[in-house]
Structure 1
Amino acid sequence: MLSLILHGRKSLELQRCRNLLFAVNPLQYSSAFSSAADASLQDGRKGHNFTASYLVTSLGFTTKLAESISKKVSFEDKSNPQSVLSLLRSHGFRDSHISSIITNYPKLLTLDAESSLAPKLKFLKSRGASTSELTEILSKVPKILRIKKDKTLSRYYDFVREIVQADKSSSSEFEVSLPLPHGPSKIRNVFALRQLGMPQDLLFPLLISQSGAVNGKVRFEESLKKVLEMGFDPTTSRFVQALRMLYQMSEKTIAEKVNVYTRLGLSGEDVWEMFKKWPTFMTNSEKKITQTFETFSKCGLVEEEILSAFKKFPQCIGASEHNCKNIADSIETFLELGFSRDEFVMTVKRHPQCLGLSAELVKKKTEFLVKEMGWPIKAVVSNPSVLGNSMEKRMVPRCNVIKALMSKGLLGSELPSIHSVLVCTDQDFLKRYVRKYDDELLVAELMGIFTGGRVST
């Protein structure tokens, strides 16, 4: 394990150097059964609606977050969740702690406060955990509260605490005092990842994960070695994705996956380069892969162009299973907006991700750019990545600044290129169109438009 850690540190340093150098037939049911099913669905919706409403009113969650959580857990009355919240507050948890805990572990609200949660909190406090320490640790890793055995709970809690304390200290070294050789294999493995520099936000979910990617010894070390040799950075989520993929798949399965892609015309080297960009693409079935290929073909791309799109954006593989039945509508949307068929094909070639956008979103964004702003269709075709931009966070604020400048005659009569406005960082945009002016009042006005998202008049 030590050799793997040392090897991993060397690999990470090499990778950082590279980054600096290169800056990589339906069943028929009786009416009685159908009625029962409808009632069940209605009850389910009632529970989800109540849960979402409760989270908004009791914890101040946004409607969007509350609705997302209600898909994972639901209840139809507030007695149990209220007991859980009361218990947490009685142990010193503030609303900010509780919000973090429920966001990461919503099922906590369904646990029995007195018989399940209270004994665990009491046990941890009996071991000397202060209120501030307890609230901090459990806010970061609330799922350790689902551990039933005191001994295991104690080990996991202590491990998390030592990492948190080490990150607060000035020392970059982390020396764990737990008896790792006799401790759970998961802790030993997570410790190895910690020694490679993996941050808390990636490390702690692995510690309490039930996926098994950090269980055992031999399998974990073999997978870790492969991921490190490929040059994945342990400080990134892509490292975790790659580790999970290689841990879960046997050599035979991997060989079969690679073989599917090579039969389509990709080389083995191409496949592993795609793996480095998006590890989870390797989980796609042969059916999904061929279905994606056929979908791109229906879009008008030839084999070479499809393979190029795969290599450029492996995320698109498999995604089309949801869009395949609507592919004709997708094409028609672009054509109705004024794209020629050749322009549509060029857009897909340059930005395959656009196939993952809904027809409604494509229409909304294109009409905003072409009809409201005045850029030609060809500008969108040349810069199709703008279709992936957020309307609220990027398109509207930046375009409102441009509108304001043009209304003041500060940009002349010609609209700046779509590339200079939307295909750049916020800092570059502000430097180019806001901070360049010496007039402080003007700069303040433009910053207000940019940050407030107000449409200029």
Structure 2
Amino acid sequence: MYGFLCLRQLLPLKHRRTHLGFLQKNGFFIAKSFTSVGSLSESNQKPEEEEKLSFAVSYLVNSCGLSTKSAILASQSHRVLFQSPERPDSVLNLFKENGFSNAQISKIVRIHPLILLSDPEKTLLPKIELLRSIGVSSSELITILSSNPLLFKSNLKKRLIPCYDFLKSVLLVDEKVLKTFKRSPRSFLCDETNTMAPNIALLRQLGAPPSTISLLVINFPSEAFIKHTKFVEAVHQVKEMGFDPMKTVFVLAIRVLLKMSKPKLESRLELYKRWGWSKDMSLAAFKRFPNCMLSSEEKITKTMDFLVNKIGWPSANIAKHPSVISLSLEKRIIPRCYVVQILQAKGLVKNNLAVGTFLLPTERIFLEKFVKRFRDDVPELLNVYQASSFRS
């Protein structure tokens, strides 16, 4: 009953019976112990503020679907206080008119409760219209804003529009800006002056071509717009490793170093060393395919164990085609290796095939080159391939 008693003390005496009777009747207040809001019982708020608080709590529960605890915390922590439903009702109506479900509205309010005090026409609708103007569909807009309601909190003229303008200056067309936004909506919340601009300027200074910069921004915006000091550190490391800024792999390596801590990277290098890769081999593999360092230790161990110990390919051969490490062991590596082993046993392909020649091609090319091509010699080959894929 402690939570109920705390709430009771929030209400002005003359309103307690009316408010509490209404709230109990509608099932809003449940007798629970909310230690995190125990301090409410000691509130020294003025009667007017108490009335606003009690009204806001009941509104958040009744109209927005928040739990009692969430409603109290929102009202107290975020100072969501109001006596009239007019402004919050207009906010909820805007969401409903734009296709948001009750559950999505509740999620938005729970994360950003102060949104209920916004002017829907002046502050919320223009942000929705900005996103629509760059091609965000209604369904995408609802999903993105429900998961990232702080976009509503960000200033339209000082943050959202400058971020959009900067991305447009780098990517040139709205389609690419849209891809970036959908991949990372928070890219519109970045500090354009202190992160976006200096990071891109550094890449340009080093000679990275527009296509390479676009690849980084569109596919990995979280890394592209990370804190500038961290970005500079990663760039310097990549340069010291001998990467060419003119090549795409340069920004891919930057991305890997930004995602991995130094101890984690060292552990990957040590793991590859245990499989026979020298330091030079590991560096060469990293320069060919930086993502080989992002695979988990379990994935690397299982893949290397299968290829080296079960299939018998030299570890050095794999180092020359490190991208195979990222391929699915069950769905791609094992089934294709079974097919190649059968062909080798029958003398139809060379025994010293490099792993990249049959593991890296697309499914269509692999089937054409290693399955359909030998259908007369090994009629059952396709069935073996499909069965091994299924078993894996």
TM-score by length of 2: 0.58
Instruction: Report the CA distance shift for 1:341/1:442 in structure 2 as closer, same or farther (over 3 A).
Output: closer
Aligned to 1:174: none
The aligned amino acid for 1:369 is L
Select the structure with the greater relative contact order (CA < 8 A; seq sep ≥ 6): 1
**How much is the aligned-residue C-alpha RMSD, in angstroms?**
4.3
In structure 2, how many angstroms separate the alpha carbons of the residues matched to 1:364 and 1:450?
A: 17
The aligned amino acid for 1:281 is E
The aligned amino acid for 1:206 is I
Does residue 227 of structure 1 match 2:167?
yes
Secondary structure of 1:284's counterpart equals: coil
Q: Contact 2:167 / 2:177 at 8 angstroms: preserved in 1?
A: no
Aligned to 1:397: 335
Larger Rg: 2
Which one of 409, 412, 420 corresponds to residue 357 of structure 2?
420
The aligned amino acid for 2:370 is Y
Aligned to 1:379: 317
**Cα deviations by residue, 1:201-248 (Å, 9 ceiling, x for unpaired):** 642233222232785543433433333342352596423457643543
Does residue 450 of structure 1 match 2:392?
no
Which one of 255, 264, 289 corresponds to residue 351 of structure 1?
289
Which one of 251, 261, 266 corresponds to residue 193 of structure 2?
251
Which one of 82, 94, 101 corresponds to residue 155 of structure 1?
94
**Cα deviations by residue, 1:248-287 (Å, 9 ceiling, x for unpaired):** 3142444444566689x56696994443453222343355
Aligned to 2:40: none
Aligned to 1:434: 371
Instruction: Report the CA distance shift for 1:402/1:420 in structure 2 as closer, same or farther (over 3 A).
Output: same
Count the aligned residue pairs. 291
Unpaired runs of 5+ residues, structure 2, are 1-31, 33-57, 66-86, 102-118
The aligned amino acid for 2:360 is V
Secondary structure of 2:127's counterpart equals: helix
**Cα deviations by residue, 1:290-316 (Å, 9 ceiling, x for unpaired):** 55467668xx82475899753344422
Instruction: Report the CA distance shift for 1:283/1:451 in structure 2 as closer, same or farther (over 3 A).
Output: same
Which range moved further: 348-357 or 185-194? 185-194
Which one of 275, 296, 306 corresponds to residue 337 of structure 1?
275
**Residue 449 of structure 1: how far off its partner (Å):** 2.0
In structure 2, how many angstroms separate the alpha carbons of the residues matched to 1:423 and 1:371?
A: 20
**Cα deviations by residue, 1:18-50 (Å, 9 ceiling, x for unpaired):** xxxxxxxxxxxxxxxxxxxxxxxxxxxxxxxxx
Identity %: 18
Which one of 297, 316, 330 corresponds to residue 256 of structure 2?
316
Which one of 179, 198, 204 corresponds to residue 136 of structure 2?
198
Q: Contact 2:324 / 2:359 at 8 angstroms: preserved in 1?
A: yes
In structure 1, how many angstroms separate the alpha carbons of the residues matched to 2:152 and 2:238?
A: 34
**Residue 421 of structure 1: how far off its partner (Å):** 1.9
**Residue 410 of structure 1: how far off its partner (Å):** 6.8
In structure 2, how many angstroms separate the alpha carbons of the residues matched to 1:441 and 1:150?
A: 68
Q: Contact 2:181 / 2:188 at 8 angstroms: preserved in 1?
A: no
In structure 2, how many angstroms separate the alpha carbons of the residues matched to 1:295 and 1:377?
A: 26
The aligned amino acid for 1:424 is P
Q: Contact 2:180 / 2:217 at 8 angstroms: preserved in 1?
A: no
**Cα deviations by residue, 1:127-178 (Å, 9 ceiling, x for unpaired):** xxxxxxxxxxxxxxxxxxxxx945433432332279xxxxxxxxxxxxxxxx
Instruction: Report the CA distance shift for 1:431/1:222 in structure 2 as closer, same or farther (over 3 A).
Output: same
In structure 1, how many angstroms separate the alpha carbons of the residues matched to 2:323 and 2:139?
A: 29
Instruction: Report the CA distance shift for 1:186/1:444 in structure 2 as closer, same or farther (over 3 A).
Output: farther
Instruction: Report the CA distance shift for 1:340/1:375 in structure 2 as closer, same or farther (over 3 A).
Output: same
Aligned to 1:239: 181
**Cα deviations by residue, 1:318-351 (Å, 9 ceiling, x for unpaired):** 223x2x1244443332233122332222111111
Unpaired runs of 5+ residues, structure 1, are 1-79, 81-113, 122-147, 163-180
TM-score by length of 1: 0.51
Secondary structure of 2:150's counterpart equals: coil
Does residue 362 of structure 1 match 2:300?
yes
User: Mapping of 1:109-120 within 5 angstroms?
Assistant: none
